[in-house]
Structure 1
Amino acid sequence: METHAKSIIQISGSRKICFLLVFFVVGLFVFCNLASAEKEVNGRGLAALKPDTAISVEIKSGFERKSWSNLLYPKSVLRFYQHNGFQPVWVDAAKSPKQTWEAMLMLDCVLQFGLSHDDYHPKDLSYDLLHNILEKPLAVNDVEKAKYDITLTDAVIAFMNHLHYGKLNPDFTADKIDNGIEGGFNAGAFLATALPQKDFMKSVISVQPKVKAYADLQYQMHLLEGVYQGDCYDIPDSTVRRIAANMERLRWAGVADSAYIHINIPSYTLKFHQPDTTYEFKVIVGKPAWPTPTLNSAVSYFTTAPEWRVPKKIFETEILPKALKDHEYLERNQISLYDEKGNYISPGMEALEMISNNPGGYTARQSAGCDNSMGLIVFRFPNVYDIYLHDTPEQQLFKVQERDFSHGCIRVEQAEKLAGLILALDGSENLITNVHHAIRQYKTQNFILKKTIPIIVTYLTCEVQNGALVVFKDIYGLDKRLEMALYNIVDPLALVN
């Protein structure tokens, strides 16, 4: 284990038993409520079991009057009710209230998913009112019943969207999700299929990410906000918030494949996950002034002995100033200069001074070779940041624990081994020898994959290793802002604990 990581909490076997007991108690609570409700409904006679069509009328007219102004996902909720003919889902006393109580219990337990109660209409969804609606239906008017039904549907849809996409996803905002994402997850449609299922709660929470890193953090959160609560454990709020923030980040990643490449910036690691095993590599990431961005893409090919097209910002702020001070710098580093039309520029001092007056009109390229800044292999994947994963000639830097040295791109140790593993997964083991030969000969060659491999770059400041929570340095200082947004915290001083 890296010395910069700190172990926080160790999971014991007895805690796992307690965790199972919690779910047993929850199940017992649901069963008792159902039994009590069924007994009282049966006591009222068959007349009370007739469907209350008046609620449907109020639900529909409420949408027409735009009465439901406090909904989080109004368009999604409307589509849901349009699909089911504006029938009530939760408050019809003639129907089994099993799913209703389970929905309420899930909203009670949102802390165990790293979410906040305040985001799911806690003031409008009271248990007292629900008991009256289901057990004393004549005591509550149809408008209140319709409002409760609509509000609970909105809360469950919001909960599912937050579990699947995250609450603060920078790519999928609440408005974008509410308008409908073509080919994407549809919480309203999923809710319609989940309601008839035997295990409604299990169906709903299945929309969460499937990756192991998320499952491990979620289990930790279940322990901290469920099993350990009231059990004489002193758990810092900062630990809970940190886990919640990183669960949120993993929801943004959106990986569903069993084989994928996962680069985590704060831990300086690359994990190549395959169905039966995981390979781990050290990486170098961007320094705080040139941070590596988080992203979701797919590796489509890699190149041996690549030429490096120097990014304009690096050329203007680093390469050109060094060349002006040292007239042998460009030649020593195999860097060539070109104008906008691609014409080669002889790197004399007079030319360099001319270029310095208009650096944006020129580009620099570093030829392939053992000293190339990208090393001997570069792995390509489309992204708006124009970064890539590559080898490096500075192998000694991998011996350093905190490896934030790059200009945003990601350098990987044992890049040749990674290339071989990628080809093997792609069913192209016969090409591995060609890769070795191309590297030894400094030969530029593209190796195009039959099937792209998903790649995610995350910013996770904690993870679970061997049952223990391990914390990494927040090298870009991003945790506090995300924690404040997740928990609706205004005062940063509230994050001290």
Structure 2
Amino acid sequence: MQLIGGLLLAIVLPLAVAGQELGNGVPPPVSASAAAPEILPAHLLALLTDTVATPTHRLLRWYDVRATRAFYTSRTYAAAWSAGPLPSATGRTALALLLAAEDYGLQPANYHAPALQALATLLEEPDTTARHQVRQARFEGLLTDGLLQFARHLRRGQLRECSPSPLESADSLFEPTAWLARALAAPDFAPALLRCQPPQREYQLLQVALARWRQHPAGPDSLARRRRAQQLALTLERWRWQAIPAADSDYVLVNLPAYALEVVRGGQVRQTHRLVIGKPESPTPTLSSQLKVFTLSPEWRVPYSIATKELLPRLRYSPRYAARHNYAIYDAKGQLVDAHDVDWWEVRPDRFAYTIRQNPGVGNALGSVIFRFVNPYEVYLHATYEMQDFKRPYRALGHGCMRLEHPMRLVAYLLGPDSAQAQNHALAGREKAPQPRRFTLSRPMRLHVRYATCAVVAGQLRFYPDVYKRDEELRRQLFGPAPVEVPARRPVRSPGFAPAEKVLVAKGRAPAP
């Protein structure tokens, strides 16, 4: 109430000098019947074209005054959110949407919501003076400006509002002004405006989960619940940056913090696989690409970094390591060499002139299949023979690529009726010296690798560890420094004070969320 009272005062005081705001004096007092629609456009025009910086303009810090002006210019400055002297039903709906911005991971104060609420209260009061039209013009302008910013943030996110989202293309950039005008003309304003959000199931389910999470009454764990709400909000922010277009009805989604791969078709999860991802020092990147080809019984061409940092020390210890693990070593001329013929202690990592390949078969680091896809990071999705890793709760163990559990299930899905050939080859791949076989998909499948520390899975909201420690910086950018929980003072002893309750209050503990 103090905030609303302060805003009311901040609005009323400038009205005493409204003549200065509107340039050439204040129109004389008018009767209620004379508060006609033709008066408001003049006030709006003056408000949106007055660029004089005076103390009375403290409430008029526009986010995009040009876009707001363009919105009203296309309407010849007719009111958009008013019905006579009062806010219209659509105007009230629009204000309610901004006041509920936290349901979308946003903050109402960023869209003039508190000031608009105070103005709406003032507009309810009977007033036949010019002050009413000034208030009404401010309500109109601020509401439009807030809605434009709200739509922009829903589409692109708060921290990248000037960068097109994946839902846009060079010839179809998001125009908040046009979007707001269409939403205003729609039969149902709120759903029409909210359709600017990412359409994919992951975002939509999480947004609903956040709205429900906020409905929970505050209690002793209010700080923990607030932190979880922020975690949901920052995950929605990431989804806006990396939204999945509605045209991608079939796709493979990797969520790195969940160590999981999902096959999604028609809004339904068809398969789920466990993953092993890159270590924090060699993290798996987020990306979008296509699964077009895969190879059964693949040969592994060992990357230079792994050859020098991991295999070279083992070869120095025992050259037999190469034969035991089915490695073939080639010199700079491409000639096959025997590991025992090389003095590995004389080989320097910065002058490593050898190429190492691991032959197909049991024990190959790529397992039975590799899915290659175009990306600038040289990472891929592959199987593994180290099956025990999938039983670990912490699975950020790799060099950046993703290891897949039950890969042949994914192969069967991608190939459809042609999967029998792949299954037969996989069985033959258990032989001592299998040969690689490449398959090209007749219908490529979109692949999206994302980083979401919370998600709705099988109808349940789940939170995951921030394995790459990315949430806290994003949380700080969106919400400022993290709140510090101050322990309550130790209470004075009293006969009826239960010991367990005393510990809870004294140490400021709260149940885990």
Q: Give the alignment's TM-score, normalised by structure 2.
A: 0.73
- Asked which structure has the greater CA Rg, the reply is 2
Q: For 2:363, which of 356, 371, 393 is the aligned residue?
A: 371
- Deviation of 1:479 after TM superposition, in Å, equals 2.8
Report the Cα distance in structure 1 between the residues aligned to 2:306 and 2:143, rounded to whole angstroms: 53
Q: For 2:388, which of 374, 391, 396 is the aligned residue?
A: 396
Bigger share in helix: 1
Listed as ranges, the matches of 1:106-125 within 5 Å are 106-122=97-113, 124-125=115-116
- Deviation of 1:273 after TM superposition, in Å, equals 1.4
Report the Cα distance in structure 1 between the residues aligned to 2:463 and 2:408, rounded to whole angstroms: 30
Report the Cα distance in structure 1 between the residues aligned to 2:317 and 2:458, rounded to whole angstroms: 52
- Deviation of 1:306 after TM superposition, in Å, equals 2.4
Q: Secondary structure at the match of 1:236?
A: helix
Report the Cα distance in structure 2 between the residues aligned to 1:201 and 1:83, rounded to whole angstroms: 21
Assess if the C-alpha contact under 8 Å between 1:51 and 1:94 holds in 2.
Answer: no
Assess if the C-alpha contact under 8 Å between 1:297 and 1:381 holds in 2.
Answer: yes
Q: In 2 relative to 1, CA 369–117 (structure 1 residues): closer, same or farther, beyond 3 Å?
A: same
Report the Cα distance in structure 1 between the residues aligned to 2:280 and 2:412, rounded to whole angstroms: 32
Query: Residue type of the partner of 2:37?
Result: L
Q: For 1:192, which of 173, 177, 181 is the aligned residue?
A: 181
Assess if the C-alpha contact under 8 Å between 2:200 and 2:243 holds in 1.
Answer: no
Q: In 2 relative to 1, CA 408–81 (structure 1 residues): closer, same or farther, beyond 3 Å?
A: farther
Q: Deviations over 1:393-444 (max 9, x none)?
A: 21232233332221121111111110111222xxxx2x21222233325333
Report the Cα distance in structure 1 between the residues aligned to 2:126 and 2:413, rounded to whole angstroms: 62
Assess if the C-alpha contact under 8 Å between 2:153 and 2:161 holds in 1.
Answer: no
Assess if the C-alpha contact under 8 Å between 2:213 and 2:229 holds in 1.
Answer: yes
Are 2:73 and 1:105 aligned? no
Assess if the C-alpha contact under 8 Å between 1:377 and 1:415 holds in 2.
Answer: yes
- Deviation of 1:265 after TM superposition, in Å, equals 2.0
Partner of 1:287: 279
Partner of 1:432: 419
Report the Cα distance in structure 2 between the residues aligned to 1:436 and 1:136, rounded to whole angstroms: 80
Report the Cα distance in structure 2 between the residues aligned to 1:85 and 1:181, rounded to whole angstroms: 30
Q: Using CA pairs under 8 Å that are at least 6 residues apart, name the structure with larger relative contact order, 1 or 2.
A: 1
Assess if the C-alpha contact under 8 Å between 1:51 and 1:92 holds in 2.
Answer: no
CA RMSD of aligned residues (A): 3.9
Q: In 2 relative to 1, CA 72–46 (structure 1 residues): closer, same or farther, beyond 3 Å?
A: closer
Moved more, 413-422 or 315-324: 315-324
Partner of 1:225: 214
- Deviation of 1:109 after TM superposition, in Å, equals 0.4
Partner of 1:241: 230
- Deviation of 1:151 after TM superposition, in Å, equals 3.6
- Structure 1 stretches of 5 or more lacking a match? 1-42
- Deviation of 1:471 after TM superposition, in Å, equals 2.8
Listed as ranges, the matches of 1:150-189 within 5 Å are 150-168=141-159, 173-177=160-164, 182=170, 183-189=172-178
Q: Kindly, what percent of the aligned residue pairs are identical?
A: 27
Partner of 1:260: 251
Partner of 1:463: 455
Q: In 2 relative to 1, CA 401–54 (structure 1 residues): closer, same or farther, beyond 3 Å?
A: same
Are 2:414 and 1:422 aligned? yes
Q: Secondary structure at the match of 1:261?
A: strand
Query: Residue type of the partner of 2:179?
Result: F
- Deviation of 1:108 after TM superposition, in Å, equals 0.4
Partner of 2:49: 61
Q: Deviations over 1:100-147 (max 9, x none)?
A: 222211110011222222322346534326744997585349887666
Report the Cα distance in structure 1 between the residues aligned to 2:354 and 2:129, rounded to whole angstroms: 79
Report the Cα distance in structure 2 between the residues aligned to 1:362 and 1:188, rounded to whole angstroms: 60
Q: Deviations over 1:77-107 (max 9, x none)?
A: 5665666566664468589723322221111
Query: Residue type of the partner of 1:296?
Result: S
Q: For 2:373, which of 373, 378, 381 is the aligned residue?
A: 381
Assess if the C-alpha contact under 8 Å between 1:50 and 1:94 holds in 2.
Answer: no
Q: Secondary structure at the match of 1:48?
A: coil
Q: In 2 relative to 1, CA 295–57 (structure 1 residues): closer, same or farther, beyond 3 Å?
A: same
Are 2:323 and 1:327 aligned? no
Partner of 2:24: none
Q: In 2 relative to 1, CA 81–293 (structure 1 residues): closer, same or farther, beyond 3 Å?
A: farther
Partner of 2:38: 50
Report the Cα distance in structure 1 between the residues aligned to 2:218 and 2:326, rounded to whole angstroms: 65
Query: Residue type of the partner of 1:220?
Result: A
Partner of 1:35: none
- Deviation of 1:382 after TM superposition, in Å, equals 2.5
Q: Deviations over 1:265-309 (max 9, x none)?
A: 222221111225521111111222222223333322222222333
Report the Cα distance in structure 2 between the residues aligned to 1:459 and 1:217, rounded to whole angstroms: 14
Assess if the C-alpha contact under 8 Å between 1:241 and 1:483 holds in 2.
Answer: yes
Query: Residue type of the partner of 1:416?
Result: M
- Deviation of 1:392 after TM superposition, in Å, equals 0.8
Q: In 2 relative to 1, CA 213–47 (structure 1 residues): closer, same or farther, beyond 3 Å?
A: closer
Listed as ranges, the matches of 1:466-481 within 5 Å are 467-481=459-473
Assess if the C-alpha contact under 8 Å between 1:336 and 1:345 holds in 2.
Answer: yes
Moved more, 157-166 or 328-337: 328-337
Q: Secondary structure at the match of 2:162?
A: helix
Q: For 1:483, which of 467, 475, 492 is the aligned residue?
A: 475
